[in-house]
Structure 1
Amino acid sequence: MDQPLLGRVSAAGRGCCSYSTLKAWLPILSWLPRYKLKWLKMDLLAGLTVGLTTVPQALAYAEVAGLPVQYGLYSAFMGGFIYTLLGTSKDVTLGPTAIMSLLCFSVVGGQPHRAVLLSLLCGLIQAVMALLRLGFLLDFISFPVIKGFTCAAAVTIGFGQVKNILGLQGIPQEFFLEVYYTFYRIPEARIGDVVLGLLCLGLLIMLLFMKASLGSDEAPYSSCSRVARKLVWTVATMRNSLVVLAASFIAFSWDAYGYHVFTITGKTSPGLPPFTPPPTTDTTANGTVVSFGEIVEGFGGALAVIPFMGLLESIAIAKAFASQNDYRIDANQELLAIGVTNIMGSFVSAYPVTGSFGRTAVNSQTGVCTPAGGIVTSVIVLLSLAFLMPVFYYIPKASLAAVIICAVAPMVDYQVVAKMWRIRKLDLLPFLVTFLMSFWQVQYGILGGVAASGAMLLYNIARPRIEQVSDHGVLVMECDSGLSFPATEYLSHVIHTQALQASPPRSVVLDCHHVSTIDYSVISELRDLLRQFKLREVHLVFSRLQPSVLTVLLAADLQGLRYTDSVEAALQMETENQPND
């Protein structure tokens, strides 16, 4: 091997192993050396607050995923440790969310082993995407698709908890059947669950409005008012935990006197989950062993939808709070953090997780300074698993249902429909396709919305706007975008209709200053057009070509190619070439 090549290899090796490269892959190295003692207080407070919010939400979201409640906690602690090492946002918290729980249920149907394997596969896909820098693929999921999906998911999740508020059991999980049988069986509702569920809902809503009415912290307040505001904010922030604890105490009290008036969570597996590789096979109820290949085949398109939605949800949250708090994130590094979290989570029986908007908001509002707050949150979850699992026996399902309904209600953004109608009505098409199809199958809704958005995008590519700017004997036409192979037939049709089929045929000046791309199919069509213009003794003149496009046209060696630097020069050229009367 020659010396210059050895030098380049050596330099590349030093670059890969440099401290700056290591900091790019481990963002903790950027903020840990300058960590301040005053940050520790804020991180501890934020981590504790988020932890007390995470525990009841994790239990509730496990219900949405159709899994035993302890799986919600299994999924809630790994993200705090991993994100501290790999995350680029100080605010984001990773863990189970309503949307990911619903997607998980739609794929695994409440089978724990398959949910854990799904977490591993999703994590591997996300990590590979991060390593290949494929984060840009998320740009192909449009805002109307996201909104259509989140609105449908909120309705599906929220209505799915009505049966727990009513104390009904044995309700089908398919949405339309669930709606029918929930209303059909209302006479069977348990009074205790209904009363407790409505009380929990009312209390949660009241605390939420109390927090919203506090106003700005910057206004001048007396010491007593400041303490009272802080107390109200603390109680309102921890409302989920307080309501679930109060409901559990009520259920325990009635149960102790022999009155079983509430539907409770029941027995849960105590202790921490074992650290073991995720299962690669499963066994059905009748004892049939399902192989790894059959399980993956059963996942189907969900292996594309769930990783994408997890990435999309988390990165959207990270970008929103980065903008709000004036810092920047690295999207591909965020993908890596989520991917590694799901991979490692699968070893502790977790199902797929992503960033949580609600808990991230709590984290930010509490004043977290670094991702280290996630470590405190994870410790709270681990302590709950180690010591509080017997207490979870008495948690009423109606209280968890109230927590879920209040968490997903803000996701139903009805105002966005009016905004899209006012701004661009066509965007309602992918929104409605996603929204309606999501009630059939969630993943079908996302795929349908992406297909609708893609069709609209392809239509715009295939039908670029070609405007007739002026007509002074010579037709001046302007293209407003790039020209690629789907647009060739349309371009040819417009020019034929407006110029070649006119009587008499007219020359055309094609203003191309917006055209930045052109491909071989267009070149072939232009060669044919130039030939037809020559047969009719008129001209096709290109003006204001960008250098890259001109280079392609010259390389194609088109016979009869004419081009000018301006439309005026092209018109003057055609005027001079016209025969005198």
Structure 2
Amino acid sequence: MIERLRPFVPVLDWGRSYTRAALSNDLIAALIVTIMLIPQSLAYALLAGLPPEAGIYASIVPIVLYAIFGTSRSLAVGPVAVVSLMTAATIGQIAEQGTAGYAVAALTLAFLSGGFLLLMGILRLGFLANFLSHPVIAGFITASGILIATSQLKHILGVSAHGHTLPEMLGSLLSHLPELNIITLTLGILATGFLFWVRKSLKPFLRGLGTPPVLADFLTKAGPVAAVIATTVAVWSMDLTGQGVKIVGAVPQSLPPLTLPSFSVDLFRALVVPAILISIIGFVESVSVAQTLAAKKRQRIDPDQELIGLGAANLGAAFTGGYPVTGGFARSVVNFDAGAETPAAGAFTAVGLAIAAVALTPLVYYLPKATLAATIIVAVLSLVDLSILKKTWDYSRADFTAVAVTILLTLGLGIEAGVASGVVISVLLHLYKTSRPHVAEVGLVPGTQHFRNVLRHDVETNPAVVTLRVDESLYFVNARFLEDMVQQRVTEGCTLRHVILLFSAVNEVDFSALESLEAINRRLTDMGVGLHLSEVKGPVMDRLNRTDFPKKLNGQVFLSQYGAWTELTAHC
């Protein structure tokens, strides 16, 4: 029974070989990640428009469930910036922040997201993440980072602003500038500057003082906690709340409560599309991080099982007062660098956060929201990579267009439009690239049996025999393109007697492409020109043999291109 469950419950696999050394490493990693996650979880809940405790709740049970069902040994699951912003953008259109309806909508969004991820995992649809190209993802993440950082400026300035797009946010900030709170601004600037210094310079500074590497690394990871403590003490000791500084306030001192999402059909209808988009983006981000970290230790990630693990984590969030979660880049890297050996490190992190939820929440009463905003800004600005525009411009104008359009739509129309446009653009980009496949006329390299492009190499050719190498699978999008190319090439040579289609790079021929091949065969037959195929892959030939095309072919199917060339040129 256990053997049958092992592929679906990875904890049964790695748990068998769990050692004391792994336990020690996991506990150290959990301590470091817990210290980092306390302020970060509070900050991301603020970004999502939820009470601060929701961030901690969303980081406890989901982590445990992922540790049971996930395959990555370093991925740390919980609230992340992009998903938090998408949550706020989605629910803000349905309910007002601070209301019970808003919190219920967040639970329902997590429930739908978890259900969708779980269904994808059961159906083994992890490959769907490949429909989002890397340039488009980079553009979306960059635009999201800009939106998130801009959305937090209101807390740094101490003003009341709103908006889900960059123009809306900037316009609202400008209109509310007269409300600027100098004390809040000072706290925000100091906290932001300190956090940037911690991220970039604290570790080299400590190493320069002779601090041991492990201690220097630990102190650097704990830097945000120092900002939290310093600004909290400042607000409390100088009674800055009376001067307009907004604080976190009372946070319930309890473990995650048992909650229920809404099963309202109307709410489901309003949230189902955003839930799908959040699931896709969250999965892509999570599996990318997981695969990157796994490769460093020569471990394997199962994308389909990752869907199940993330689905279980989101369902756990829905029933314990949280909101949608995924694997975070920053926390996962910290978890990896801290020496996490197994997913048990995540479970230990959950224990640490549970202790914090019970014992430490009263200490953040005077924590200024400006500090949490600074935490978010410093975290997300590392996601902004405008250099992707120059890189794609230099390499591929099509990719540049996709990146630029994704960034502009995300900034101008909002996060959901950006995600949707990213998916559509990725698919359209693929269709565009494959609609005009590279087809090269090739000739024989003298003294060899190899064939290369006649425009790039000095090769042997025969005016009576033309070989066209098709460098793409053939399907409905590009089938007519091949027809037109063959027709154009045939009309260029009066002495032409044979056309060979070299299929060494063709992995698929769909029905539309089959009809195009039949049309090419008929036209060449009418012109007295033979049509031949060479180096057709087994699966492609198997499918062609199910039809009568091989019988109607006016030429032959050759095992090798050299064999085709030798036989046909011998009779010309």
Which stretches in structure 1 are left out of the alignment for 5+ residues?
1-16, 281-291
Map of 1:404 onto structure 2: 376
Map of 2:558 onto structure 1: 564
Out of 1, 22, 43, the residue aligned to residue 39 of structure 1 is: 22
| Residue 174 of structure 1: how far off its partner (Å) | 3.9
Out of 443, 462, 482, the residue aligned to residue 416 of structure 2 is: 443
* Residues matched between the structures, number: 542
Map of 2:432 onto structure 1: 459
Distance change in 2, residues 1:204/1:569 (3 Å): closer
Out of 178-187 and 491-500, give the one that drifted further.
Answer: 178-187
| Residue 402 of structure 1: how far off its partner (Å) | 0.7
Map of 1:66 onto structure 2: 49
Distance change in 2, residues 1:254/1:519 (3 Å): same
Are 1:246 and 2:230 matched, yes or no? yes
8 Å CA contact 1:254, 1:261 repeated in 2: no
Distance 1:427 1:308 in 2: 21
Counterpart residue identity of residue 201, structure 1? T
Are 1:388 and 2:369 matched, yes or no? no
Distance 2:541 2:340 in 1: 54
| Residue 577 of structure 1: how far off its partner (Å) | 5.6
| Residue 142 of structure 1: how far off its partner (Å) | 1.0
Out of 450, 463, 466, the residue aligned to residue 473 of structure 1 is: 463
Write out aligned runs for 1:292-311 (5 A): 292-311=264-283
Map of 1:433 onto structure 2: 405
Distance 1:552 1:397 in 2: 63
Distance change in 2, residues 1:210/1:458 (3 Å): same
TM-score relative to the length of structure 2: 0.88
| Residue 569 of structure 1: how far off its partner (Å) | 4.7
CA offset digits 1:368-388 (Å, max 9, x no partner)? 222222223212222232233
Distance 1:240 1:447 in 2: 34
Are 1:20 and 2:7 matched, yes or no? no
Distance 1:380 1:566 in 2: 64
| Residue 455 of structure 1: how far off its partner (Å) | 1.5
Out of 319, 329, 340, the residue aligned to residue 347 of structure 1 is: 319
Distance change in 2, residues 1:63/1:483 (3 Å): same
8 Å CA contact 2:107, 2:322 repeated in 1: yes
Aligned-residue CA RMSD (Å): 2.5
CA offset digits 1:433-462 (Å, max 9, x no partner)? 221111212122122122222112112333
Map of 1:486 onto structure 2: 477
Distance change in 2, residues 1:513/1:243 (3 Å): same
Distance 2:58 2:335 in 1: 18
| Residue 521 of structure 1: how far off its partner (Å) | 2.6
Counterpart residue identity of residue 239, structure 1? G
Counterpart residue identity of residue 153, structure 2? V
CA offset digits 1:270-324 (Å, max 9, x no partner)? 43342132233xxxxxxxxxxx111122125212211111111111111111112
| Residue 209 of structure 1: how far off its partner (Å) | 2.1
8 Å CA contact 1:505, 1:536 repeated in 2: no
Distance 1:151 1:493 in 2: 41
8 Å CA contact 2:389, 2:404 repeated in 1: no
8 Å CA contact 1:147, 1:431 repeated in 2: yes
8 Å CA contact 1:165, 1:194 repeated in 2: yes
Out of 71, 74, 77, the residue aligned to residue 88 of structure 1 is: 71
Secondary structure of the structure 2 residue equivalent to 1:469? strand
- Percent identity of the aligned residues? 30
8 Å CA contact 1:123, 1:341 repeated in 2: yes
Distance change in 2, residues 1:198/1:509 (3 Å): same
CA offset digits 1:515-559 (Å, max 9, x no partner)? 232233333333333232222222222233334434444442315
Which stretches in structure 2 are left out of the alignment for 5+ residues?
444-460
Distance 1:106 1:210 in 2: 34
Distance change in 2, residues 1:279/1:270 (3 Å): farther
CA offset digits 1:171-205 (Å, max 9, x no partner)? 34443111122134334311101111111112112
8 Å CA contact 1:50, 1:377 repeated in 2: yes
Map of 2:191 onto structure 1: 200
Distance change in 2, residues 1:540/1:369 (3 Å): closer
| Residue 93 of structure 1: how far off its partner (Å) | 1.2
